[in-house]
Chains A and B, each alone.
Chain A
């Protein structure tokens, strides 16, 4: 008996074999936490507006990013699954000089444009020259963010150098901007406007067609430099402007997702219809609504009046209520409440208009109104954009809040064009404004609060209120050059206190909340705080 090793003859071995086989089978058949990505399928998604041109260096709308970004790569990018980590894209690694003024990027080899030509550092230098030092009538809307760059060099085909005039702590994140698409140098040299109406990139998807008013189609780049990507055979961006139609498209399964954000009732509608076939991802959003006061008009030149207007607003109550019907919600100060620079609630509540006791705040507001000599029933205009979500909701809320301290507000709604014209011309009393950024950075978020005329003589065109506040200018510069994170946050707090509590030149109403309900068939997508960062390279769909 002991001599023979045939398994059938040894009951113990038999049992072990069965157990092991059973274990193996169970392991293989059990639904794994992370499914294996499936290669194949076409993703249909919704974009609620259409791009005016195809050149990201000159456009500011998500309507270009969502359909066209998949055709391009960046030098470095934000990790789509791990914001705000910066990961390699066309640059495979980088080094920063000890004094922080030279950034050296090592460029990958073997990357090809969709027409077959090879990408070298020359293409990257040409693209960044177009962004930072545009020539002639070429427009680069983000030029102002790169004033610290002295030059961009390409010493050899696989190296790109950025020489900075001064040390800039967030330069790497600036380079990771989702708008800095890498174009082909030859094309830029021949015709710098070519990219406004044409597509030629190195990205995971090739351009197929764009039927205006209808759809944008991309197909897999079979020679993509990331092996095994993209998973999708292709994608189809469908342009639907009407909110109800967008929801209907997802409810009927004709589209799987919309990458900007839905309102809570839209989300509920989708979930109610699709049931377990829908997933909802929510996150904070790097967008908010503010109110700008025109300090050239009386009594908006009186800080007491401005402060009263801020005190009258029940931000906490409004947040609870409005977050049910619109995609606004988080209460915050100058920087995103869920971000790395957020003011802790205890400190936030000390600022004017952020207290929890709204009755006391409104009483103080009425006192300030009397002090400032503003009579009961005083009328003024609130300028707003003709966009439903969330501008109309925010305006109705604000008008009612101010009604409760005895002010009468006229709601003036204009199309985006005339609205912007009025803002820049100072043709308003108070205006609902908005900010959207791709990264949590005081440099980005605070720049519009600088004085309308800076000490060096340059004009801040984003200051619609027309005020001059040297303290704010000084604090901004200070925080921009402070390396120590704790110290920097302290300076930003001072800036916030001065702006929101003492002078109240502008106020924050509420930050936005990003809600993305999508079909469970969509995988590999993680919602982030910016709708400009969407990236289809690693996304896949199941059957």
Chain B
């Protein structure tokens, strides 16, 4: 089994390479000219020769295959190239914002899991009662509300009642934990609520499935002590799909929080994405897509590891 896992770990590398190729192709399909955007967006006029010179400087006049080779050759060194907009190294630009996005993702996941697991289990165990109905309504409502709307309302609430707003700029957790948490707790709540809705539903249904198994029903009939032991086992089995959902949603949180970041004015990966697409910053878009794909692949791998730990019956011979 260790062999299988190592095999999977090593498989990530060629997968990422294939992903990189596909990303490059997809991104270059996007029309638009970053040079024109840079030089002419203020309304003034620039001659064609100036634009050509700038294009040459950015390497845009090299044949496509050459640009591709340049990009691919930089990947093993974690050199994602330089942004076409700011000429700063992309890896550095992303690292700046990755901190914030990662922390926000972790905080939202913690909030979501803290809410979802107990609620989902309670709803499943007390199926059909008012507890179940309330939890179902809350989670369905959570899925239906636009997330940015929650954010706007939250900020309005803070401002109207406390005349206070979260800090504008990001300070890392180890530099100033208070400022850091004061800024990120609010978007984490807004995101976490929606996230918990998805997870609650999955927890509830997974628990329901497992609770219907024969061995569980038998243990239920036999009495309290048996119930406790079996519930713990049932829980472990139910966790497989739940963990999958949590993992997939977490991967989405890196880079997917485009609108939330706008509302809370967070300097995160989502904002970088939107700006890069608007500016046709090809290298930046490539770098970001690669980052997101990597996170996804890594998370998937971690989920498989978790599977093994959760359910000893699962083995990959």
Contact = CB atoms under 8 A, between A and B. Distances in A.
Instruction: Please tell me whether chains A and B touch each other in their complex, using a CB distance cut-off of 8 A.
Output: yes
Nearest to B57: A137
B169 A252 contact: no
Given A213-B96, A213-B267, A251-B165, A461 B41 contact: no
Which interface class (under 10, 10 to 19, 20 to 34, 35 or more) fits B?
35 or more
B159 A252 contact: yes
A139 B37 contact: no
Interface string A412-451: 0001111011001000000001111000000000001000
Interface string A228-272: 000000000010111011001101101100000000000000000
B37 A417 contact: yes
B260 to A, nearest CB: 11
A241 B280 CA distance: 18
Interface stretch (A52-60, A97-105, A108-116, A396-404): A52-60
A248 B165 contact: yes
B162 to A, nearest CB: 10
Contacts of B37: 416-417, 420
A27 interface: no
Nearest to B261: A242
Given A58-B39, A212-B96, A418 B31 contact: yes
Given A61-B42, A142-B44, A436-B42, A417 B168 contact: no
Name, among B43, B267, B272, the residue most crowded by chain A CB atoms within 10 Å (CB to CB).
Answer: B43
Contacts of A213: 96-97, 267, 271-272
B97 to A, nearest CB: 6
B51 to A, nearest CB: 9
Contact of A144 (B45, B88, B278): B45
Interface in B12-26: none
B46 A141 contact: yes
A460 B45 CA distance: 9
Contacts of B118: none
B155 interface: yes
Contact of B169 (A58, A238, A242, A273): A238
Interface in B149-203: 152, 155, 159, 163-165, 167-170
B145 to A, nearest CB: 18
Contacts of B74: none
A214 B267 contact: yes
Contacts of B38: 52
Contacts of A386: 278
Name, among A141, A238, A273, A462, the residue most crowded by chain B CB atoms within 10 Å (CB to CB).
Answer: A141
Contacts of B155: 244, 248
| Top-10 shortest CB links A-B | A60-B42, A417-B37, A213-B267, A245-B265, A252-B165, A137-B53, A417-B32, A461-B45, A462-B45, A214-B267
24 contacts: A53-B86, A53-B87, A58-B39, A60-B39, A61-B41, A139-B50, A139-B53, A141-B45, A213-B97, A213-B267, A213-B271, A240-B168, A240-B265, A241-B271, A244-B152, A245-B263, A251-B163, A415-B32, A416-B278, A417-B32, A420-B36, A421-B33, A424-B36, A433-B43
Interface of B: 31-34, 36-48, 50, 53-54, 56-57, 85-88, 93, 96-97, 152, 155, 159, 163-165, 167-170, 262-265, 267, 271-272, 278-280
Given A141-B39, A416-B41, 19 more contacts: A52-B85, A53-B86, A60-B41, A137-B53, A139-B39, A139-B53, A197-B88, A212-B86, A215-B169, A244-B263, A248-B155, A248-B165, A251-B165, A252-B159, A252-B165, A386-B278, A417-B37, A418-B31, A461-B46
